[in-house]
Structure 1
Amino acid sequence: MSKHWYDQQTIYQIYPKSFNDSNHDGIGDIPGITAKIPYLKQLGITTIWLNPIYQSPQVDNGYDVSDYYQVDSSLGTMTDVETLIKTVHEHGMYLIFDFVLNHTSDQHPWFKQALADPQSKYRDYYLWQDPAADGGRPNNWGSFFGGSVWAKDPAGGSQYYFHLFDKRMPDLNWKNPAVQQAMRDVAEFWVEKGIDGLRLDAFIHLAKADFRQTYPNRTGDSTPIISDMFYAHLPKVHQYLHDFVAAIKAKHPDTYVVGEASSADPHLMVDYTTLGTDECDQVITFRTFADDNTQDDPSFSDTFQPRPMDVTAYKQNTVGIQAALADTSLPTLYWNNHDMARVATRYGDPDYPQASAKALATALYLQRGIPIIYYGEELGLTNIRYHDIADFEDQTVPTFVASAQAAGKSKVEIMRMLNQTHKMAGRGPMQWDNTVYHGFSDHLPWKHGDTDDMNAQAEIADPDSIYHYYQQLLQLKQCAPFTNGQFIMLGSAEQLFTYLIDDGQKQAAIVCNLSAQAQTYLLPFVGGKVLLVQGGATYRGRQVTLPAWSSLVVKSA
């Protein structure tokens, strides 16, 4: 693989509305991010990824774009963005934007004109279909946000339009060359503004199958059902992706492109990132994670039931991805993002909050690949705890609640489950200090509830904090053999996560205990230098002794 600036990066994901409020309205903003660039530089971050900042009605917190060329007024101005770009670059860092290319808002001028005039060229910017023979929806494909992918023309026409997500977020018609060019134009606008890369949201859904097809089910009725085979990873996606990326890189060859391929298996990850295809430099898959569902309660929906990590399955998923990408591209390494609960809540141990946060970080971020750290993760930030079911703003929640209530679950039990597992609970405000609202704002934050007390100011002052451990870990990541070593999974007991990084000259062994039970492990080599130790782990000869949630990194002699 050739080397690029982004091969050694560490990415920090910022959810703009939740990071830092500079204008006292309870909503994080662009100037608030700019003010914290020195903090990120000190942590060891090289690249910042911003979730969408474009003009939006905020139905889906910015993923419903009404104008790609404008900044949402709640977040700032174009001048604020230009200042952010300049400041990031002055600190020797890079900036990538989330780019929503599968769909727009229904408030986008294109969709408004498509509704106003069915003969308009903009009608073909979206996906329309006549009703089925019975006058109902064209097929039974289900939306990721619940219900059908089809919504009736709100202007009164007989046709339906396609929306894979919320009905206020109609999908674009990527068969239309005008749509392809329009989205390339938007991307080029922002790259020419000075951003360094794009995170392509939901690109795996750009191509759709023939709308006349229906997903078979046992009942034979038209109840909507998720039908990935009709709108995920279809062959035409590669052509759309290639043409888009090639056009950007023809003018700006150093532009970094990372794609969200949530359901991609290792083979698809290879397909999307093979050098020379002008597709993605890296992809982000959700297929690494593995939850233990053996304790699920079968009496109600499992959608938001809390689950511990299945460590064995996680190891299997990890080695599958690492092996597939070894000669192709770098994996992306992350524990959480805006679409899931925070790792400290999801997989951390409340009896060992600091130790478990450090052990999980060690297990992941020294692997071959690019770390992506979700804002506040470096503090051990946990999910916010909401007080009301309506706080989750999710069309799938009422179905889960009804199922749980039918099984006799109380509101307290239901709220506990949602607060532990739901993505909205992972979007709480960043905690900067111990003042009102943890220094995020002096105004009631846009997302608020009960929080734990960790904050950046206190952790920076504490040399044994999670923050300082992340700082050490990221510094180590920039040293041999981690800069260009290969990943080798080692055999170990179920709750141990052990691997080698080998660059052909030196090896580093990473041994992590992901449990509350003490463990021992024999290293594959004798002697060496301890690079990092955490949680009271000790090392003698070849034997490593690991108390609960501890880890050790040793470099061969």
Structure 2
Amino acid sequence: MNKQWWQSAVVYQIYPRSFQDTNDDGIGDIQGIIQRLDYIHSLGVNVIWLNPIFISPQIDNGYDISNYYRIDPIFGTMTDVEELIEKAHQLGIKIMFDFVLNHTSDQHPWFQEALHDPDSLYRDYYLWADEKETGQLPNNWASFFGGSVWEKVPDRKEYYFHLFAKEMPDLNWKNPEVRIAMLNIATFWLAKGVDAFRLDAFIHIAKEKNYPDVANVPEGELAIAEEFYSNLPEVHEYLSDFIKEVRRVKPDVFIVGEAASADVDLAVAYTDQTKDECDAVISFRHFVEDESQKDPLLPAGMQKGPLDYHVFKNVMVEWQVKLASIGGPTLYWNNHDMARIASRFGDERPEYRKNSSKMLATLMYLQKGIPFILYGEELGMLNLKMKDLAAYEDPGAVRFYEKATSIGYSDSAILEMLNSSSKDVSRGAMQWDASDYSGFSKVAPWSGVNQSKEDTVATEDIEKNSVLNYYRKMIALKKTSLFTTGVFQLQETSDEFYCYTRSIEDSTANIYCNLTDTPKQITCSKAEQAGDILLENDGNYIQNQQIHLAPYGCLVIKLKGE
């Protein structure tokens, strides 16, 4: 396979409303990103991924789009976006847009016309079903946001389908007109200079015909129906047709698919280079937690648990092996839909925070694959510490609160659990400096902000051993051929370590990571002892063919003569 530009990509995810506010409304904006381009460039990243910035009622923070062709005024104007694309390109940075293709807002003109005029040509842009019997839902499928996937149309005996919020009706991809309409949107933004798309929730664009019930569900109850609305065979057909046409417009466009529930074999299928499908996918199935300390009466996903490193190793090896031919999997620790890595799997204790953040970055991003780094991660930013349960917008958090309250948990205990697990806590304002609101804005941010004197760009930029400057070194190393295209091999060690080798032609590097909060030793060869240390965090040393790793220590050693 010919090498593509995106195989050397290092992606920096920006949640626009949380990055930088320039007009003092408490919401980040496009001009804020433009003002911070030099900082972004200094990291060494070469792609910016923007979460949705289109006109939206903001029921789901922009993933409910009512106009794909205009920029929401809370973020700025089309002129601002054009300026961002131009100035980013001047710095060698490409722009990735979040492309929401499974659903629209219920305020989109297509849906409004379909809702009010059953004979409208837009009627078939969406999914409809009649009630089973008087007042009964069409089936027992549950929405990811709670309740049924079906919402009753006022004054009619029919329902429309929504896999997420009821304000986000699903599009009918069986309709060729829908596929053309979405292609037109993609073409419009490619013409503006966008270089890449992240396809949001694409695995759900096909649904099982006739909407059969999930079996063995008690009467009157609902069930998640992944087998009927996720990863159906028709997804490949719709996806291939869409991407083939997109590549006719821009042959080198980078397509990343969000495939939350996809296993590695589905990921291989979605990235088959003999077909016109995704270049890479993002799956949420990498991080298997130890469930033993969680309350089985509560949703496991909303409770913090340590990463099961034994399972994690096996998972990562499988993804590395099966996706090696396309340059490896996407590599990430966090995004806008999950808690921050420094809080989730790192160690928040002051004496360990820096080393654990640096170690986890080394472990993940120097493997083969494409790094996706969440804004603020490079500072070791922690989860937002929310003080009020009412501030949570995550539907899962709301359901968790209701369940936890019903079995006797106090509000303070529930708040502590949600502050460690909800996606809301990953969306705090960027910490630029120690001024009020951390330099994000002159007014209180929409989301809240962790006020800190240490974990800021201003402080870490001039601190030699900061997490920020470590990320810069790590990213520079990642962009070398050894860590971009080199072969990956996991070393056999106990689950206290994560160690692997990268090799290409006559170059070999070994990466050693201590996963624990205690010092560890591991035997090394004479060649390693004589090797060059390319990267390390604090407190490590090599002596008498023993690598001494500090708590959460890590070392990257290039063998001598290589």
What TM-score, normalized by structure 1, do the two folds share?
0.97
Corresponding residue SS for 2:99: strand
Matched, 1:532 2:557: no
Q: Which aligned pairs between 1:80-99 and structure 2 lie closer than 5 A?
A: 80-99=80-99
For 2:215, the equivalent position in structure 1 comes to: 216
For 1:416, the equivalent position in structure 2 comes to: 416
How large is the RMSD of aligned CA atoms in angstroms?
Answer: 1.4
Matched to 1:194, the amino acid is G
Matched to 1:147, the amino acid is G
* 1:525–1:272 Cα change, 3 Å: farther
For 1:41, the equivalent position in structure 2 comes to: 41
Corresponding residue SS for 1:321: helix
**CA distances 1:119-150 after superposition (whole Å, capped 9, x unpaired):** 10101000001111454111111111011110
Contact 2:319–2:329 (Cα < 8 Å) also in 1: yes
Structure 1 window deviating more from structure 2 (173-182 vs 394-403): it is 394-403
**CA distances 1:483-531 after superposition (whole Å, capped 9, x unpaired):** 2101111111112111111113221111101110222223467232211
Contact 1:94–1:196 (Cα < 8 Å) also in 2: yes
For 2:196, the equivalent position in structure 1 comes to: 197
Matched to 2:532, the amino acid is K
Contact 1:526–1:542 (Cα < 8 Å) also in 2: no
For 1:70, the equivalent position in structure 2 comes to: 70
Matched, 1:24 2:29: no
Corresponding residue SS for 2:147: coil
Corresponding residue SS for 1:226: coil
For 2:518, the equivalent position in structure 1 comes to: 517
For 2:347 and 2:9, locate their aligned partners in 1 and report how far apart those are by CA, in whole Å.
29
* 1:106–1:353 Cα change, 3 Å: same
Report the alpha carbon displacement of residue 166 of structure 1 after superposing the two structures with TM. Answer: 0.2
For 1:166, the equivalent position in structure 2 comes to: 165
Matched to 2:210, the amino acid is F
> How many equivalent pairs are there?
555
Matched to 1:127, the amino acid is L
For 1:54 and 1:524, locate their aligned partners in 2 and report how far apart those are by CA, in whole Å.
55
Matched to 1:183, the amino acid is M
For 2:3, the equivalent position in structure 1 comes to: 3
Matched to 1:338, the amino acid is H
Matched, 1:377 2:380: no
Unaligned runs of 5+ residues in structure 1 are none
Contact 1:333–1:372 (Cα < 8 Å) also in 2: yes
Contact 1:312–1:495 (Cα < 8 Å) also in 2: no
* 1:449–1:13 Cα change, 3 Å: closer
Matched, 1:436 2:436: yes
* 1:263–1:293 Cα change, 3 Å: same
**CA distances 1:443-479 after superposition (whole Å, capped 9, x unpaired):** 1111115544411010001011000000000011122
Corresponding residue SS for 1:257: strand
Contact 1:282–1:329 (Cα < 8 Å) also in 2: no
Report the alpha carbon displacement of residue 302 of structure 1 after superposing the two structures with TM. Answer: 3.1
Contact 1:129–1:211 (Cα < 8 Å) also in 2: no
Contact 1:139–1:211 (Cα < 8 Å) also in 2: no
Matched to 2:215, the amino acid is P
For 1:355 and 1:516, locate their aligned partners in 2 and report how far apart those are by CA, in whole Å.
10
Q: Which aligned pairs between 1:107-122 and structure 2 lie closer than 5 A?
A: 107-122=107-122
Corresponding residue SS for 2:300: coil
Identity %: 47
Q: Which aligned pairs between 1:147-166 and structure 2 lie closer than 5 A?
A: 147-154=147-154, 156-166=155-165
Q: Which aligned pairs between 1:131-142 and structure 2 lie closer than 5 A?
A: 131-133=131-133, 135-142=135-142
For 2:348, the equivalent position in structure 1 comes to: 350
Matched to 2:246, the amino acid is I
Matched to 1:115, the amino acid is L
Contact 1:529–1:556 (Cα < 8 Å) also in 2: yes
For 1:58 and 1:447, locate their aligned partners in 2 and report how far apart those are by CA, in whole Å.
14
Unaligned runs of 5+ residues in structure 2 are none
Choose the corresponding residue for 1:333, options 323, 331, 334: 331
Matched to 1:543, the amino acid is Q
Report the alpha carbon displacement of residue 303 of structure 1 after superposing the two structures with TM. Answer: 3.9
Contact 1:129–1:138 (Cα < 8 Å) also in 2: yes
For 2:396 and 2:434, locate their aligned partners in 1 and report how far apart those are by CA, in whole Å.
35
**CA distances 1:21-58 after superposition (whole Å, capped 9, x unpaired):** 01111100000001101001111111000000010000
For 2:277 and 2:67, locate their aligned partners in 1 and report how far apart those are by CA, in whole Å.
25
Choose the corresponding residue for 2:547, options 537, 544, 548: 544
Report the alpha carbon displacement of residue 353 of structure 1 after superposing the two structures with TM. Answer: 0.7
Contact 1:31–1:76 (Cα < 8 Å) also in 2: yes
Contact 1:526–1:541 (Cα < 8 Å) also in 2: no
For 1:246 and 1:264, locate their aligned partners in 2 and report how far apart those are by CA, in whole Å.
22
* 1:198–1:299 Cα change, 3 Å: closer
**CA distances 1:334-359 after superposition (whole Å, capped 9, x unpaired):** 10000001011111112211111000
Matched to 1:9, the amino acid is A
Structure 1 window deviating more from structure 2 (521-530 vs 183-192): it is 521-530
**CA distances 1:86-110 after superposition (whole Å, capped 9, x unpaired):** 1101111100100000000000000
Matched to 1:52, the amino acid is P
Choose the corresponding residue for 1:314, options 295, 312, 315: 312
Report the alpha carbon displacement of residue 185 of structure 1 after superposing the two structures with TM. Answer: 0.2
For 1:505, the equivalent position in structure 2 comes to: 506
For 1:258, the equivalent position in structure 2 comes to: 256
For 1:150 and 1:227, locate their aligned partners in 2 and report how far apart those are by CA, in whole Å.
13
For 1:302 and 1:256, locate their aligned partners in 2 and report how far apart those are by CA, in whole Å.
34
* 1:306–1:443 Cα change, 3 Å: same
**CA distances 1:411-431 after superposition (whole Å, capped 9, x unpaired):** 111111101110001101001
For 2:236 and 2:116, locate their aligned partners in 1 and report how far apart those are by CA, in whole Å.
33
**CA distances 1:68-94 after superposition (whole Å, capped 9, x unpaired):** 000001000000000000110111110
For 2:354 and 2:424, locate their aligned partners in 1 and report how far apart those are by CA, in whole Å.
23
Corresponding residue SS for 1:554: strand
For 1:179, the equivalent position in structure 2 comes to: 178
Contact 1:184–1:247 (Cα < 8 Å) also in 2: yes
For 2:525 and 2:297, locate their aligned partners in 1 and report how far apart those are by CA, in whole Å.
47
Report the alpha carbon displacement of residue 306 of structure 1 after superposing the two structures with TM. Answer: 1.3
What TM-score, normalized by structure 2, do the two folds share?
0.96
Contact 1:490–1:500 (Cα < 8 Å) also in 2: yes
* 1:306–1:420 Cα change, 3 Å: same
Matched to 1:73, the amino acid is P
Corresponding residue SS for 2:302: coil
